[in-house]
């Protein structure tokens, strides 16, 4: 059980890291669309999607941490 909980925790953290990379890529894409293509609507959409992704990623990070802490205190680890 201990290995399974640690695997879930590590998997959750890896997922959070990948979402952070995604939000950075979306932000760069939005900036690029505004500078090179002069498409303000598309640029704004990508940047807003980046912001939403960052906010959801922070919530996911908190959730993974709380689940791990809960399982730690319940004696599964």
The residue range of the domain holding 37 is 2-73
In contact, 29 and 46? CB cutoff 8 Å: yes
The rounded mean pLDDT for the chain is 91
- Can you give the chain as a three-state secondary structure string? CHHHHHHHHHHHHHHHHHHHHHHHHHHHHHHHHHHCCCCHHHHHHHHHHHHHHHHHHHHHHHHHHHHHHHHHHCCCC
pLDDT mean over 29-37: 85
Task: Give the mean model confidence (pLDDT) for residues 59-67.
Answer: 95
Confidence at residue 35, expressed as pLDDT on a 0 to 100 scale:
83
Which residue carries 């669309």 as its tokens? Answer: 33
Q: Is the pLDDT of residue 37 over 80?
A: no
When divided into structural domains, the chain yields a total of 1
For residue 76, is pLDDT > 80?
Answer: no
Overall average pLDDT of the 45-54 stretch: 96
Q: Encoding tokens for residue 10?
A: 């590590």
Is the pLDDT at 77 greater than 80? The verdict is no
């Amino acid at each position: 059980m201990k290995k399974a909980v640690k695997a879930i925790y590590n998997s959750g953290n890896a997922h959070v890291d990948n979402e952070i990379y995604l939000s950075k890529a979306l932000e760069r894409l939005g900036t690029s669309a505004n500078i090179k293509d002069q498409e303000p609507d598309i640029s704004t959409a990508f940047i807003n999607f980046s912001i939403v992704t960052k906010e959801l990623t922070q919530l996911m990070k908190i959730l993974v941490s709380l689940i791990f802490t809960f399982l730690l205190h319940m004696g599964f680890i």
